Structure 1
Amino acid sequence: MKKPWIMAQTWRDLVFLHWPISPEALRPYVPAELEIDLFEGRAWIGVVPFIADHTRLRFSLPFPIAGTYRELNVRTYVKYNARSGVYFFSLDADSLLAVKAASAGGFLPYRYAHMKVVKKDRRYVFMSRLAASGTGEGFRMGFTPSAGILKASKLEQWLTERYCLWTKPKTVLYRVDIAHTPWQLQNVHIEIAENSLAQFLPVGWHAKEPLAHFSAVQKTRFYPPVPESKTKADH
């Protein structure tokens, strides 16, 4: 029986950006236990900026300081024992408290970044710059959602309807289950002014226009980590 959820959060003004990539480019950076998930023979990289809101533990009110913050993650899609989910290369946030809590013990690759979201009429601008000196990682994008909810294609469902993540701090692979309603996706017009994320990937991995989708709000619950495997050495 699944244990009760431990944390709830609302995701707002979220954008999915997706680029196809060869699985060989990702393999050295994904734990060996995880199979890289493919759609018609291609792996995918996702870049996902959003606002995290109403963050709270079970039976508690939202955190007064770290309950709302901006986040930007870089991810790919993986499988373990025929189950599909998400593997994160990085999760940047502009709440130092949230970063310290989520990255404690190396559990998730959270990093502190300076971020800003500006909205004027229907157009948004999302900006992020990693706080650590010398990395040069930044992201800047304008986007304008279109009205109306999409009927998601098989690829769009495959990219977005993912209900668990895996992480491997040290030698143990953990799964975190996630619960939410199906995504309500909208088309979105984007202009990416800067993207120097995921510098370990081949140069030009994001040169082409990505698949882009917007979702206004998604209420989410997280469940306790479940250990999947233990290996003798880090991958």
Structure 2
Amino acid sequence: MKKTFLTAEWRKLLIANYDVSPDLLLPYLPAGTELDLWNGTCYVSLVGFMFMNTRLKGIPVPFHRNFEEVNLRFYVTYLEQGQCKRGVVFLKEIVPKPALALVANAVYK
């Protein structure tokens, strides 16, 4: 069985959704995906929360267990084995420690 890479609790979650022109997001759209519209409207979300009890492959990393994150994201759909799936594209992630950003960029690109 495949071991989960990252586990954490999300606490103090705040989400603000903004409707935007789809043309603004097309340059950031990954290959093989389409914008996921809600009732014909394209949204970006500003999401802030606390990561709590964070573990990498089940192991807590000292000084990196509890931290804030703010991200700006939009939503996509893609086909996988004939099934429509949903995903998230991060335009920007803000975290307080450089090591967190380094791991996220290396693993998730």
TM above 0.5, one fold? yes
Distance in 1, matches of 2:35 and 2:53, equals 32
What is the aligned partner in structure 2 of residue 88 from structure 1?
A: 90
What is the aligned partner in structure 1 of residue 20 from structure 2?
A: 21
Question: Sequence identity of aligned pairs in percent?
Answer: 31
Task: Answer whether contact 2:7 2:58 (CA < 8 A) is retained.
Answer: no
What is the aligned partner in structure 1 of residue 40 from structure 2?
A: 41
Task: Answer whether contact 1:23 1:43 (CA < 8 A) is retained.
Answer: yes
Deviation at 1:32, TM superposition (A): 3.1
Task: Answer whether contact 1:54 1:63 (CA < 8 A) is retained.
Answer: no
Q: What SS class does the counterpart of residue 103 from structure 1 fall into? A: helix
Q: 2:68 aligns with which of 55, 65, 70?
A: 70
Whichever of the two has the greater Rg, that structure is 1
Deviation at 1:59, TM superposition (A): 3.7
Distance in 2, matches of 1:17 and 1:6, equals 28
Task: Answer whether contact 1:76 1:86 (CA < 8 A) is retained.
Answer: yes
**Runs of 5+ consecutive residues of structure 1 not aligned to the other structure:** 109-168, 170-235
Written as runs of structure 1 = structure 2, the 5 A alignment for 1:40-189 is 40-60=39-59, 62-81=60-79, 82-104=84-106, 107-108=107-108, 169=109
Which structure has greater strand proportion? 2
Distance in 1, matches of 2:86 and 2:65, equals 29
Distance in 2, matches of 1:10 and 1:28, equals 32
Residues 20/10 of structure 1: CA separation in 2 closer, same or farther (3 Å cut): same
Distance in 1, matches of 2:74 and 2:58, equals 32
Task: Answer whether contact 1:71 1:92 (CA < 8 A) is retained.
Answer: yes
Distance in 1, matches of 2:24 and 2:87, equals 19
RMSD (Å), alpha carbons: 1.7
| TM-score scaled by length of structure 1 | 0.42
**Runs of 5+ consecutive residues of structure 2 not aligned to the other structure:** none
Residues 59/66 of structure 1: CA separation in 2 closer, same or farther (3 Å cut): closer
Distance in 2, matches of 1:44 and 1:17, equals 10
What is the aligned partner in structure 1 of residue 29 from structure 2?
A: 30
After superposing on structure 2, the runs of 4+ consecutive aligned residues of structure 1 that deviate more than 4 Å are: none
Written as runs of structure 1 = structure 2, the 5 A alignment for 1:207-226 is none
Residues 9/40 of structure 1: CA separation in 2 closer, same or farther (3 Å cut): same
Distance in 2, matches of 1:15 and 1:78, equals 21
Deviation at 1:6, TM superposition (A): 2.1
